[in-house]
């Protein structure tokens, strides 16, 4: 059952889109602040890259374990209510960590637990939000709305990463308290939404495993969606592993926590530039060119991490994300248009699992690689993985015949 598309009100005057967007700007900034604060906290208290990788693993393992059932449950439950509950729980988790740090009673197990809770909330919230977008904007506005959401995410990176380093330097409690407050503000924006975020459900509810299987089968029969998600499995492994590599490289070159946070502003700059270019590039370039170029640009940039300079790794890392918003505008808009609303949560969850399922292992693997072998062998190993992905994109029949 396809939803009735909302009237094509310009995005700048779409009340609910802007409420959702602003609430998630604040939340995304908080997430980026704590995202840089987590490894800085673990490295400062334990000195162990392996433990820093373990925290990132705890935050991302729910992607692997919960994504498929989350998709089916998002198709069952009220999406708005689910999003409110997710952010309320995450606010409590980060508030507890901030309180423990303020009292000097924090321990590594609690850090792992908060990262895990945050990861669980992210899985359910992100699937629900992406599934809800088609009910908030008109179909023809999806590429522009997705590009604006990418601008939101990268703008949060631009502000949040350097701010995270600065706040951590001011006090270890501050970045986690900020993230707790940001989730509460997100809850407030969600409660103000008027739009119903899903269509009426007319299909009889079945066992969860059968509903998950239905989404898997439908998705797997779509060659373009299947292939692009598999390509992202490899490229996201590399991109997420490089996040910790860049932090370790900067520390080896003498960067302070504040400078490391500021260095990640280049990631926001690259993403914002890409978000500005995305609507134009998505209209002018074929889908195949967008997919293949994105993979090869990242591959070509990985060796540049070896260039000298304290902030050079951050600049290179930011450049890797310039084409990401165009990829998202093309691939995600196609997925939203093709998928029936009653399957949308499940299809989004399958796409998320395939594209991000490698992330938990990326952090775990790169943490141990860095500790056992150092930065140079780790970067070379990631370069090899990325080269394989780029070649696969170039030769894939599904990408060659991709819809435009």
> What pLDDT digit, counting tens, does each position of 222-276 carry?
888 889 888 988 898 899 899 889 988 888 888 887 788 777 778 778 888 888 8
pLDDT > 90: what percent of the chain? 28
pTM, two decimals, is 0.72
27 vs 23: CA distance, rounded Å: 6
325 found inside a domain? yes
Tokens 């925290």 appear where?
55
Q: What average pLDDT does range 269-285 have in this prediction?
A: 84
6 found inside a domain? no
* Highest averaged pLDDT of the listed ranges 225-229, 275-279, 358-362: 225-229
What is the per-residue pLDDT for 395?
A: 93
306 found inside a domain? yes
What is the per-residue pLDDT for 119?
A: 93
The better pLDDT of the pair 2, 90 is held by 90
121 found inside a domain? yes
5 found inside a domain? no
> What pLDDT digit, counting tens, does each position of 127-171 carry?
888 888 878 887 777 777 888 887 888 788 778 877 888 898 899
Count of C-beta atoms within a 10 Å radius of residue 387: 18
Q: Which of 39, 177, 64 is nearest to 120 (CA)?
A: 64
Q: What tokens appear for 263 in the block? A: 């260095």
8 Å CB contact between 6 and 16: no
133 found inside a domain? yes
Alpha-carbon torsion (53, 59, 61, 63), positive or negative = negative
166-173: list long-range contacts, CB under 8 Å, 24+ apart: 166/258, 166/261, 166/262, 167/33, 167/37, 168/36, 168/37, 168/40, 168/41, 168/257, 168/258, 168/261, 169/256, 169/257, 169/258, 172/37, 172/41, 172/44, 172/101, 173/98, 173/101, 173/102
pLDDT tops 60 at residue 358: yes
Return the CATH number at 256.
1.20.1250.20
Whole-number mean pLDDT of the chain? 85
239 found inside a domain? yes
Domain count across the chain: 1
pLDDT tops 60 at residue 1: no
198 found inside a domain? no
What is the per-residue pLDDT for 2?
A: 47
> What pLDDT digit, counting tens, does each position of 36-67 carry?
898 888 888 887 877 888 888 888 888 888 88
Range of the domain at 304: 11-193+207-400
What is the per-residue pLDDT for 232?
A: 86
Picking from 144-153, 193-202, 219-228, 368-377, which range would have the lowest pLDDT averaged per residue?
193-202
What is the per-residue pLDDT for 175?
A: 93
Geometric angle at alpha carbon 79, from 222 and 111, rounded to 5°: 95
The better pLDDT of the pair 96, 149 is held by 96
What is the per-residue pLDDT for 205?
A: 62
What is the per-residue pLDDT for 178?
A: 94
8 Å CB contact between 169 and 43: no
Picking from 29-38, 103-112, 345-354, which range would have the lowest pLDDT averaged per residue?
345-354
């Amino acid at each position: 059952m396809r939803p009735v598309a909302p009237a094509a009100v310009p995005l700048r005057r779409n009340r609910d889109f802007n409420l959702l967007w602003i609430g998630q700007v604040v939340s995304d900034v908080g997430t980026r602040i704590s995202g840089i604060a987590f490894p800085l906290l673990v490295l400062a208290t334990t000195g162990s890259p392996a433990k820093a990788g373990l925290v990132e693993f705890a935050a991302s393992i729910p992607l692997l374990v919960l994504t498929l059932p989350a998709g089916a449950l998002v198709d069952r439950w009220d999406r708005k209510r689910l999003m409110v509950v997710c952010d309320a729980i995450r606010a409590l988790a980060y508030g507890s960590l901030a309180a423990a740090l303020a009292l000097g009673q924090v321990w590594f197990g609690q850090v792992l637990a908060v990262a895990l809770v945050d990861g669980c909330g992210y899985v359910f919230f992100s699937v629900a939000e992406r599934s809800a977008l088609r009910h908030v904007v008109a179909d023809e506005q999806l590429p522009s709305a997705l590009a604006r959401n990418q601008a939101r995410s990268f703008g949060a990176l631009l502000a949040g990463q350097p701010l995270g380093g600065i706040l951590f330097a001011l006090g270890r409690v501050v970045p986690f308290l900020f993230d707790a407050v940001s989730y509460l503000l997100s809850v407030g924006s969600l409660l103000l939404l008027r739009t119903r975020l899903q269509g009426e459900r007319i299909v009889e509810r079945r066992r969860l495993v059968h509903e998950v299987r239905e989404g898997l089968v439908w998705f797997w029969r779509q060659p373009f969606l299947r292939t692009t998600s598999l390509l992202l499995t490899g490229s996201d492994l590399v991109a997420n592993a490089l996040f910790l590599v860049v932090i370790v490289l900067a520390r080896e070159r003498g960067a302070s926590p504040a400078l490391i946070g500021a260095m990640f502003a280049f990631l926001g700059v690259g993403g914002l530039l890409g978000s500005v270019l995305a609507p134009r590039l998505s209209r002018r370039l074929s889908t195949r060119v967008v997919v293949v170029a994105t993979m090869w640009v990242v591959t070509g940039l990985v060796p540049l991490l070896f260039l000298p300079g304290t902030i050079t790794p951050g600049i290179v890392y930011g450049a890797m994300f310039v084409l990401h918003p165009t990829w998202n505008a093309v691939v995600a808009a196609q997925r939203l248009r093709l998928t029936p609303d009653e399957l949308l949560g499940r299809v989004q969850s399958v796409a998320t699992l395939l594209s991000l399922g490698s992330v938990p292992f990326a952090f775990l693997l790169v943490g141990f690689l860095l500790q056992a072998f150092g930065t140079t062998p780790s970067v070379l190993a990631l370069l090899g993985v990325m080269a394989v992905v780029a070649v696969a994109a170039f030769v894939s029949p599904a990408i060659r015949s991709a819809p435009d």
